Copies of this chain bind each other. A is one copy, B any other.
Amino acid sequence: MDRQYPSAALERAVGEFSRLPGIGRKTALRLVLHLLSRPEEEVSTFGRVFSTLKQDIRYCKVCHNISDTDICSVCANPKRDGSIVCVVENVQDVLAIENTMQFNGLYHVLGGVISPVDGIGPSDLQIASLVERVSAGGISEVILALSPTMEGDTTNFFISRKLAGLGVKLSVIARGVTVGNNLEYADEVSLGRSILDRTPFV
């Protein structure tokens, strides 16, 4: 319904922003006009960072996390415990787990979960390289930290079958009530799991 913008350059810039997820044409226009109000150097830097983004960013050859180098800073850190590998969906999940400061092992970034609806099968994910990594030895435990959804569970099951017989301990992150919330607001499934998977009171 929008009438055309008074400038093709503006139209182009708005078009680029509005192609990003969650950004509509109004927000895109606001962002472009914000950039126009900034110094030229700042705006051209903004552009330059993204024009070389795909070339600048590499993926760790071991865990497939985003990295500046062939081996990421986690995998290359001698203080991390290489015998435990935590399998996650994506980069955000690595950051989320790192932020908890409760994990000192290494990661394996799958790049998604098995989802037939979205056309994502096992071969689209870094599952073969996980099996290879475990087969190479030196890993005693694999923690499955995928989303507690049907797709996550399917992927967990698929991975568990692939790793069976490789002599590695397989675990899955705990499901239960969330810390800090009143019990009455917990969903039934999580509350049920929290009783089934109860842990010894220290």
Contacts and interface: CB of A to CB of B under 8 A. Distances in A.
A201 interface: no
Contacts of A73: 6
Contact of A48 (B27, B29, B47): B47
B7 A34 contact: no
A47 B74 CA distance: 29
Contacts of A74: 6
B9 A68 contact: yes
Given A10-B57, A13-B49, A33-B91, 8 more contacts: A7-B67, A7-B68, A8-B68, A23-B31, A36-B57, A44-B54, A47-B49, A47-B50
A123 interface: no
A32 interface: yes
Contacts of A23: 31
Interface stretch (A79-87, A94-102, A133-141, A163-171): A94-102
A2 B65 CA distance: 17
5 contacts: A16-B50, A35-B53, A36-B53, A36-B57, A47-B52
A200 to B, nearest CB: 31
Contacts of A56: 9
